[in-house]
A and B are shown apart, each in its own frame.
Chain A
């Protein structure tokens, strides 16, 4: 049986790991390659690197980092952050990334999803969606959650699937940084309505939150950053707890 995935997310700025609290304050949590190796050894199923730097050197720095990670790490990893063209994706995949994640660029140019899926295959195209529940309705946000749109989360998710995305990484802006649990109601709707895997993101604070997002939220994978980076949760302990609760995991 296919197992549920636990995915630490490493925010990267100028080649270093950082973690934003509510996407704004940044704290240094080490060298990305060293951290990735530790996570691979400790039982992480996959890694996500999210590049939040905005320098002109960005593309080159990121490609170098991807290459260093691919050399040292024997589990799959996804790279995201500011990817907006077929050329960007080509460079990252050629340097050893397994998947790329696109976000704002897909909203601005939905045809990009079709182009990328046709050229590289759906399996390596993750579409990340940041959304916030406003007056009961889930609305898509851009630029790391800072810019609201009038696009409905569920309609956009359906379109993303139809255009050829291989999976969706859904971050709830209401939950992100709160450590109060994932947005399980919205996740369960996404998971039932869509036929591609859904990664839950935003709100992880304790082990019960992961159980809940897999059982109630029907998520296929769960992503978190600070609870892993600051060792509040050990992945091995988390997986044992999940298994005790009847969730299939790789242990």
Chain B
């Protein structure tokens, strides 16, 4: 199985590579469109600020490539947010794969949300073997509003989308590579789709 992690200069991608290795697979890092298109599974990571991450995607032309992919694609954290219609952070137009907007948490809450929170209303093969109310690790200041494509929710002040799916595109707000055994199981489920 060929697993490609999209490398566009955004954040900590070693951790995802290592997590995949712990599951017994090898992933390669690439920003090359042909390499990405030929993968069996694509992981679209992202940490940092939305508008600068989107600029990096545009400069490599990957903003045009990602929405046309046919194989299973998993966006993680900012990766998932960039796959949405619009991100409030840096007034950023997203890739428009998921029909949802990304907005900032209420100022009354501590922002960023850092730590372990529960996922529930699980509606996807991504969560095979995962119990309702399982804990996952999250670090983020902006969230995806709940929508028809939501496949898992989390509560932090509001109830929001912690996982989302449209056709072959999946997104998770949490870090499966850092969410202990449950996270590794979710990552493994994705690799088995």
A: residues with CB less than 8 A from B are 1-5, 40, 45-46, 67, 70-72, 74-76, 93-98, 118, 120-124, 166-167, 195-197, 220-221, 250
Contact = CB atoms under 8 A, between A and B. Distances in A.
Contacts of A120: 11, 47-48
Contacts of B49: 118, 121
Contacts of A71: 18, 21-22
B12 A74 contact: no
A146 to B, nearest CB: 29
Given A71-B18, A96-B15, A122 B116 contact: no
B156 to A, nearest CB: 6
Interface in B149-184: 155-156, 175, 177-181, 183-184
Given A71-B18, A75-B180, A166 B135 contact: no
A2 B116 contact: yes
A195 B106 CA distance: 11
Given A2-B116, A71-B18, A74-B184, A98 B110 contact: no
B21 A74 contact: no
A178 B107 CA distance: 36
A95 B115 contact: no
B105 to A, nearest CB: 10
Interface string B106-142: 0100111111111000000000000000010101110
A123 B114 contact: yes
A5 B117 CA distance: 11
B5 interface: no
Interface residues of B, number: 36
B116 A123 contact: no
A4 B156 CA distance: 13
Contacts of B15: 70, 96, 98
B110 A197 contact: yes
A70 B18 contact: yes
A221 B115 contact: yes
Contacts of B141: 122-123
B114 to A, nearest CB: 5
A94 to B, nearest CB: 7
B110 A196 contact: yes
B140 A5 contact: no
B12 A40 contact: no
B47 A250 contact: no
A70 B137 contact: no
A45 B175 CA distance: 13
Contacts of B6: none
Given A70-B14, A98-B178, A121-B49, A2 B107 contact: no
List the 10 closest pairs (A to B, CB-CB), nearest first: A121-B48, A96-B14, A250-B116, A250-B135, A123-B139, A76-B178, A71-B18, A3-B116, A2-B117, A123-B112
Contacts of A2: 113, 115-117, 156
Nearest to B78: A121
A3 B14 contact: no
Interface in B47-74: 47-49
Contacts of A4: 115
Given A74-B177, A98-B15, A3 B22 contact: no
A217 B110 CA distance: 15
B80 interface: no
Given A70-B18, A74-B19, A95-B14, 18 more contacts: A3-B135, A70-B14, A71-B18, A74-B179, A74-B180, A74-B181, A76-B137, A76-B139, A96-B12, A96-B18, A120-B11, A122-B141, A123-B47, A166-B114, A167-B112, A195-B111, A197-B115, A221-B115
Interface string B7-32: 00001101100110110000000000
Nearest to A220: B110
B96 to A, nearest CB: 23
A111 B11 CA distance: 21
A8 B48 CA distance: 26
B9 to A, nearest CB: 11
Given A45-B116, A98-B178, A124 B47 contact: yes
